[in-house]
Amino acid sequence: MWGGAPHTPLSYRHPVPPHTGAVSPIMVNYDTRRRRARNVAMRAALPFRPDDRCVVFGCGSLTRKAASKGLDGRLCRRHADYHSRHGSPYKGSYGAGIINRYRDAVLAWLEANSTDVWVVDAIGRVQGLYARSGPFVEAYRLRGLSPRERATKLWARLRRCEIDPKVVVASALAVELVISNDYQAVRTTEYRKVQVAKVVHRLASGSHRKWNTEGGLVELHKYPQSRGQVLRFVGADLVLATELLVDARLSTVNAAIATAAVKSLSRRVARRRSCEKELA
Ligand SMILES: [Zn+2]
């Protein structure tokens, strides 16, 4: 008699011990695949006309489905890409100039209120994101990972770059303030998530290497793309981490920043007047 366990074909083996309550990753992937297949079949079966146009006002291009370039029956290729990058098919991202001004002001407020219970809570949650993100992965080794895994690795990159969690919280609050003070803002949850994620993505986005070779110095600079589902996952993580602080303190921070801006402006005006008097 041969010893050991009888041979079981790989495809028949149960991926996790039975009755442990654990969820098999293979079963999860299988369910995900079936759900995606159903979703694709449903979108493919939706009726459309060959002259369907993009829903963005003034565009006039064929939708991707009408152009036989995909299943999107609402947007053309250009606006679908725009939506993927910015979280809205018609409003772009806020520039670094305005976000940085708000972030500096919010950072000053956070430092002045570092013992506030909601501030402590938000910073602790961001530290938790850092701690749960697993080992650091270089930006040029992200290929093949799912959007959820890539989003988690962004937190590991921020941890590796020693980005202060307070700066991450300030970035999220700055975006919330910019949106709340913008009279033409897009106020969808998706847009907020993408905008928050793009700001955090800029804090530590790339990997850089240099080698000395016989032919001279070789440099590798790799930046993960700031677009797609990754941004939605990063934004969801950060919105969840800071939502209690935003709910409790956003109006307070807004008022404090407005007061500080008025004081700064009045100081500048006073300084200018004193200069004018000296010159006169
Ligand atoms: Zn369009």
Q: Are the CB atoms for 63 and 48 separated by under 8 Å? A: yes
Tell me the CA–centroid distance for residue 64 and ligand 1, in Å: 9
Distance of CA 117 to the CA centre of its chain: 25
Res 276: pLDDT? 58
Tell me the CA–centroid distance for residue 58 and ligand 1, in Å: 8
Q: What's the pLDDT tens digit per position in 40-50? A: 888 877 777 77
Q: Where are the domains of the chain?
A: 44-92, 96-249
Q: Are the CB atoms for 245 and 121 separated by under 8 Å? A: yes
| Nearest C-alpha neighbor of 105 from the set 197, 165, 200, 170 | 170
Q: Which residues pair with 212 in a beta bridge?
A: 217
Looking at 46-76, list the stretches that DSSP marks H as alpha helix, in order from N- to C-terminal side: none
Of 265 and 181, the structure prediction assigns the larger pLDDT to 181
Tokens of 51: 């002259």
Tell me the CA–centroid distance for residue 57 and ligand 1, in Å: 8
Q: Are the CB atoms for 77 and 111 separated by under 8 Å? A: no
Tell me the CA–centroid distance for residue 80 and ligand 1, in Å: 7
The most distant pair of C-alpha atoms in the chain lies apart, rounded to whole Å, by 111
pTM for the complete prediction?
0.77
Tell me the CA–centroid distance for residue 54 and ligand 1, in Å: 5
Q: What's the pLDDT tens digit per position in 180-205? A: 999 889 999 999 999 999 999 988 86
Q: Are the CB atoms for 193 and 87 separated by under 8 Å? A: yes
- Give CA–CA dist 147/116, Å, rounded: 34
Across 24-33, 126-135, 264-273, the highest mean pLDDT is recorded for: 126-135
- Give CA–CA dist 99/104, Å, rounded: 9
Rg over CA atoms, the chain: 25
